[in-house]
A and B are shown apart, each in its own frame.
Chain A
Amino acid sequence: QQPVQSPQAVILREGEDAVINCSSSKALYSVHWYRQKHGEAPIFLMILLKGGEQKGHDKISASFNEKKQQSSLYLTASQLSYSGTYFCGTDGGGTSYGKLTFGQGTILTVHP
């Protein structure tokens, strides 16, 4: 089942902070976060694995609550370049590990 992202859209001014949430109804092995600009490839931001391991960009932080099957992406001191659509992709692990199920996306707009 598709994870649910909230909010659906966020509008910020440069320098403001935002939190994007991702919630799944299934047990998760990992959560992957991407940003996509119109007509471009989804760009990797962060991977959070069951057990606490994380990999990602220095300026991005995220959390993963394994028990609640939820993840949050924290964007601080936003820049104009942060604008785009943010997707979380969930991986249930097991025999189909690696197959990501994506949320519907959160549109982030940063204004000067």
Chain B
Amino acid sequence: DTGVSQDPRHKITKRGQNVTFRCDPISEHNRLYWYRQTLGQGPEFLTYFQNEAQLEKSRLLSDRFSAERPKGSFSTLEIQRTEQGDSAMYLCASQTGVSIQYFGAGTRLSVL
């Protein structure tokens, strides 16, 4: 257990539906990252927060994706109008300062 929790672990949805994932970072970590991982590939950066501020978004993150981190604690990642290409593992990581990023076990999304 890395101390980073993600919920749900698995999500199956139909194309066009909206989904929301949650990440609870290690409590004292001020930075929180979202990555996406497809089979056989390394994680790809999506976005990150420093406290409650979203500082950068990847070009991979289309307008259908939105992320929040209210009060600088947990974070949510929402995907609207899901497409089959959104099927992937969504990983969350937290970090304090310039140091180690600890990853959660991820949410595996399957879009049918």
Interface residues of A (CB under 8 A from B): 2, 30, 32, 34, 39-44, 47, 49, 55, 87, 89, 96-105
Q: A42-B91, A42-B103 are in contact. Are A99 and B33 (CB under 8 A)?
A: yes
Expressed in whole angstroms, the Cα–Cα distance for A34 and B41 within the complex equals 13
Closest to B44 in A: A102
The 5 closest A-B pairs by CB, nearest first: A102-B42, A41-B105, A41-B103, A42-B103, A87-B42
Interface residues of B (CB under 8 A from A): 2, 4, 31, 33, 35, 40-45, 48, 56, 91, 95, 98-106, 108
Expressed in whole angstroms, the Cα–Cα distance for A77 and B42 within the complex equals 26
The number of residue pairs between A and B whose CB atoms lie closer than 8 Å in the complex comes to 63
Residues A55 and B100 in contact, CB atoms below 8 Å apart: yes
Minimal beta-carbon separation of A70 from chain B (angstroms):
17
Residues B42 and A40 in contact, CB atoms below 8 Å apart: no
Of the candidates A30, A87, A105, which one forms a contact with B98 in the assembled complex, judged by CB atoms under 8 Å apart?
A30
Minimal beta-carbon separation of B41 from chain A (angstroms):
6
Expressed in whole angstroms, the Cα–Cα distance for A32 and B91 within the complex equals 16
Residues A97 and B98 in contact, CB atoms below 8 Å apart: yes
Q: A32-B100, A55-B99, A89-B42 are in contact. Are A99 and B106 (CB under 8 A)?
A: no
Expressed in whole angstroms, the Cα–Cα distance for A18 and B4 within the complex equals 30
Q: A98-B31, A101-B45 are in contact. Are A49 and B100 (CB under 8 A)?
A: no
Residues A103 and B2 in contact, CB atoms below 8 Å apart: no
Residues B33 and A41 in contact, CB atoms below 8 Å apart: no
Residues of B within 8 A of A99 (CB): 33, 45, 48, 56
Residues A47 and B100 in contact, CB atoms below 8 Å apart: yes
Closest to A44 in B: B100
Expressed in whole angstroms, the Cα–Cα distance for A39 and B110 within the complex equals 14
Of the candidates B43, B98, B99, B100, which one forms a contact with A102 in the assembled complex, judged by CB atoms under 8 Å apart?
B43
Q: A41-B2, A41-B105, A99-B33 are in contact. Are A105 and B40 (CB under 8 A)?
A: yes
Expressed in whole angstroms, the Cα–Cα distance for A43 and B92 within the complex equals 13
Expressed in whole angstroms, the Cα–Cα distance for A88 and B41 within the complex equals 12
